[in-house]
Amino acid sequence: MKAKMTKLLHRLKNTVSSSPLDKATAVQYAYRLILGREPSAAEVLAHLGHPDLQALRRSFFESQEFRSNYRWLCGATLSGYEPPLSVQDWVDPATLKRLFVHIQASWRTIGEQEPYWSVLSADEYKLANIQGRLEEFYRSGWESFHLLVNTMKRNGLDDRLEDKTLLEYGCGVGRVTNVLAQKFKRVHAYDVSTSHLALARQVTDSLGLANVHYVAVQSLRDMQELPQVDMAYSIIVLQHNPPPIIRLILESMLDALKPGGTALFQLLTYQEGYSFRVEEYLSSPRPAQIEMHVLPQQRVFEIIADKRCRVLEVLDDALAGYRKGQLSNTFLVQKR
């Protein structure tokens, strides 16, 4: 095996600096070795301009595809030399309402156009391709559930869930909701998109589950007046809201925890070049699209402390993709 690899690398070294035909062969082998797949003709053509093997290799190892699929080989996304971000996360109630109305309208449109893809942004989950893949889509909810349970166990938390109540903020089409409902006594599932909720209810009904309480978030009050629960959960949701809305959701979720209750939530905490100023944001026309926003770790820790909670664990994750200069974290916290 080692001899074969040496021979192959030697061939790459010899071909990448020679004729265009040999370069094409080198690119094909780079796709197979580094990305584990066959390239299209257009992809091969796009890489023919690299002057040598080092440049070719660098382009593959620094590609988003490699970093997403082989994260464990890539190292940390932040060096520690990154500058601070300018993020406004406090606004007056009237401005907060304007932000909410924008997000509400945007997600209702997205929910009507691409409900499954908006939850897991892979081409196979677009409406044009979803036929035959729904079972796979919903089965992925079990992976999220097992991650939740493993995180609880690792931190010495009681993982007996049958007598516990859970709040899920941003339930979408019920990908994780209907798994949680099979394990928890009761699930309160909140979402701003009525289209998403309609699909989530269909799955709940098809499974014969009667312990899910769906709530359409139609106002800031709906976001703030949450039931008291043993656990709060929000994954791949907070980052799609402007920072003041992230703050409000996070504060409300932690307020909803009973004493000793726990919350597991994920959000982007750093993205190089990101900034948020509310008037600048609201002054620009914004079509319905999936937005990505950041709330720095320092602000998250402040909110956790203000809500009388303590941090049990902070994980780096790839739930917002894996890019240099970007950090996504999953937090596990407990109410004091």
Query: Are residue 145 and residue 239 in the same domain, yes or no?
Result: yes
Tell me: do 105 and 22 sit in the same domain. no
What is the Cα–Cα distance from 151 to 156, expressed in whole angstroms?
9
Same domain for 306 and 240:
yes
Q: Judge whether 80 lies within some domain.
A: no
69 plus 188 within the same structural domain: no
Assigned domain for 162 exists: yes
Helix 20-30, helix 53-61: angle, nearest 10: 30
Q: Answer yes or no: do 98 and 9 share one domain.
A: no
Q: Alpha helices of the chain — where are they, by DSSP H? A: 2-15, 20-30, 41-46, 53-61, 64-69, 93-113, 134-139, 141-154, 177-180, 194-206, 220-224, 243-255, 278-283, 297-306
Q: What is the mean pLDDT of residues 4-32?
A: 66
Domain assignment present for residue 81? The answer is no
Question: CB-hemisphere CA count at 13 Å for 283?
Answer: 5
Q: Is residue 170 part of a domain?
A: yes
The verdict on 168 and 251 lying in the same domain is yes
pLDDT digits (tens, 9 = 90+) for 65-93: 887 777 767 778 898 999 999 999 999 99
The amino acid at 113: Q
User: What interhelical angle do 93-113 and 243-255 show, nearest 10?
Assistant: 90
The answer to whether residues 15 and 95 belong to one domain is: no
Overall residue count recorded for the chain in this entry: 336
Q: Which pLDDT value is given to residue 49?
A: 85
Tell me whether residue 78 is in a domain. Answer: no
If asked whether residues 307 and 225 sit together in one domain, one would say: yes
Q: Are 191 and 170 in contact (CB under 8 A)?
A: yes
Task: Quick: pLDDT tens for 120-165.
Answer: 988 889 999 999 999 999 999 999 999 999 999 999 998 899 999 9
Q: What is the tens place of the pLDDT at every residue in 260-301?
A: 999 999 999 999 999 999 999 999 877 888 999 999 999 999
The CATH number linked to 164 is: 3.40.50.150
Same domain, 61 and 95: no
Overall number of domains in the chain: 2
Closest CA to 57 of 9, 90, 92, 89: 9
Instruction: Indicate whether 218 and 306 sit together in one domain.
Output: yes
26 with 16: CB under 8 angstroms? yes
Q: How confident is residue 20, by pLDDT bands cut at 50, 70 and 90?
A: low
Kindly state the helix (H) or strand (E) to which residue 211 belongs, with its residue range. Answer: none
**Domain range holding 51?**
2-73
CB 229 within 8 A of CB 166: yes
Tell me: do 190 and 236 sit in the same domain.
yes
Strand-strand pairing, 309-317 and 165-169: unpaired
Alpha-carbon span 171 to 190, nearest angstrom:
6
pLDDT band at 19 (very low <50, low <70, confident <90, very high): low
Higher-confidence position of 20 and 44: 44
Beta bridge partners of 231: 166, 262
119 lies in the same domain as 68: no
